[in-house]
Amino acid sequence: MNFEEIQRLTQEGLTPNYSRYPVAFIRGIGARLWDVNGKEYLDFLAGIAVCGAGHCHPRLVAALQQQADMLWHTSNLFYIGPQAVLGKRLGDLAGGYQCFFCNSGAEAIEASLKLARKIGKTVLGGKWQIIACEESFHGRTFGALSVTGQPKYHFGFEPLLPGVRFVPYGDLPSLENAITDETCAVIVEPIQGESGVKIPDDGFLPGIARLAKERSFLLIVDEVQTGLGRTGKLFAFQHYQVEPDIIALAKTLAGGFPMGAMLAKPQWAEHLTAGSHASTFGGNFLASAVALAFLDVLEEEKLPERATEMGDRLQQGLKRIVGEQGEIRGKGLMVAAEFSEPIAPALRDACLSAEPTGLIVNAIGDRILRFVPPLIVSEEDVDEALEIFARCWSAVRAKKQ
């Protein structure tokens, strides 16, 4: 199929809720993709911070193929070996949690909110309200959307879940002021991803954890984007020495195969009693087998350490190119460039259409570019991406003048 045919079928057959770049890929290896015309791209978006092991990592492909030959799905009415092994391994890695598996980030958030409500009602004396942050992103289902602090995503879908209060991200005094006797949980991203890689002061997360203990509410940390190596630690909360009550994971959990997870401390997990929550596909054989292979790769290829090294290299290179014309920030391989002028979409387009190799990056609004490459990215990949970016930067800036 050529690109025009794919585009026509998309317009005819699909709902128009995505604005897509004019490219269709057919093949990927590591940090590289090829489109239907055979053009090569360096992928510094990784399916929106998903493909941590890169595209078609041989270990993940083998795990998927092997499991596909054996058994795909039976439902959670039965015991599922790979899910059991994954749950124990993931829970231990996080520091002693029990896992509920689902299929996406939004579902991991739904499970987290439902568990917090259940505990609020049955353990914390009827508490039910939730505090979330402005500019946050937690997903598109009604519950996840209700705690997403971006009114543009709420438009047309109200009324949303009641009892949610928003406070400015990073502002501990405002958060403290918003706590009431009815607050059952605070939900927070350790670093805000979708709003442009916003990193709070080091005291923010520990401050919420302290308040959670003092005022008896749960700390839900949304690690959907930051989790499993991206920021240079296995979990981003480990930068801050806090112990969340509940953790939401998805994105890179099965290296690009759909999977989400809610992790809860055992004293809380026990309140998700039999029948109180479920997912037909959650933790199926295929997703669990690939997630186990992803964890093997993460450990053997030291992906968190690599994220720190490559992230520093990327940030330094971007700083050299952008100079005083913007701010470069990030942790590990979660990096953003914020410009003083509204040039992010033009830069993104120039990078995508660069020849002979394109560079895939993501524009957030008109001033921020986000770089979230696969965690297996090499020095050569980073240097080549910087070289493409430098060319596009000069071209876009020259056009502006």
Ligand X SMILES: Cc1ncc(COP(=O)(O)O)c(C=O)c1O
Q: Does the protein bind ligand X through residue 43 (CB under 6 A)? A: no
| List 43, 222, 245, 381, catalytic entry | 222
Stretch that binds ligand X, among 100-108, 308-316, 318-326, 359-367 (CB under 6 A): 100-108
Q: Where are the alpha helices (DSSP H) in 155-284?
A: 172-178, 204-215, 266-269
* Among residues 105, 196, 282, 326, the one that binds ligand X under rule CB under 6 A: 105
Question: Shortest CA distance to 108 belongs to which of 144, 77, 137?
Answer: 144
* Among residues 67, 110, 183, 189, the one that binds ligand X under rule CB under 6 A: 189
Stretch that binds ligand X, among 18-26, 32-40, 137-145, 177-185 (CB under 6 A): 137-145
- Distance, in Å, from the CA atom of 370 to the CA atom of 337, rounded to the nearest integer, reads 7
- Distance, in Å, from the CA atom of 355 to the CA atom of 308, rounded to the nearest integer, reads 29
Pair type for strands 218-222 and 246-249: parallel
Nearest-approach distance from CB 368 to ligand X, in angstroms = 15
Question: Shortest CA distance to 316 belongs to which of 379, 377, 249, 397?
Answer: 379
Residue 375 burial (10 A CB sphere; 0-12, 13-18, 19+): buried
Task: For residue 125, count other CB atoms closer than 10 A to its CB.
Answer: 11
Task: For residue 89, count other CB atoms closer than 10 A to its CB.
Answer: 15
Q: Does the protein bind ligand X through residue 333 (CB under 6 A)? A: no
Q: 């993104």: which residue's tokens?
A: 348
* Among residues 82, 143, 170, 193, the one that binds ligand X under rule CB under 6 A: 193
Q: 205-234: which residues touch ligand X (CB under 6 A)?
A: 222, 224-225
Q: Does the protein bind ligand X through residue 102 (CB under 6 A)? A: no
Q: Does the protein bind ligand X through residue 315 (CB under 6 A)? A: no
* Count of chain residues binding ligand X (CB under 6 A): 15
Q: Does the protein bind ligand X through residue 195 (CB under 6 A)? A: no
Active site residue 399: no
- Both tokens assigned to 346: 């033009």
3-state DSSP call for residue 29? strand
* Among residues 28, 47, 87, 139, the one that binds ligand X under rule CB under 6 A: 139
Stretch that binds ligand X, among 134-142, 231-239, 352-360, 372-380 (CB under 6 A): 134-142
What single-letter amino acid sits at 275?
Answer: G
Q: Does the protein bind ligand X through residue 104 (CB under 6 A)? A: yes
Active site residues: 137, 222, 251
Residues that bind ligand X (CB under 6 A): 48, 104-106, 109, 137-139, 189, 193-194, 222, 224-225, 250
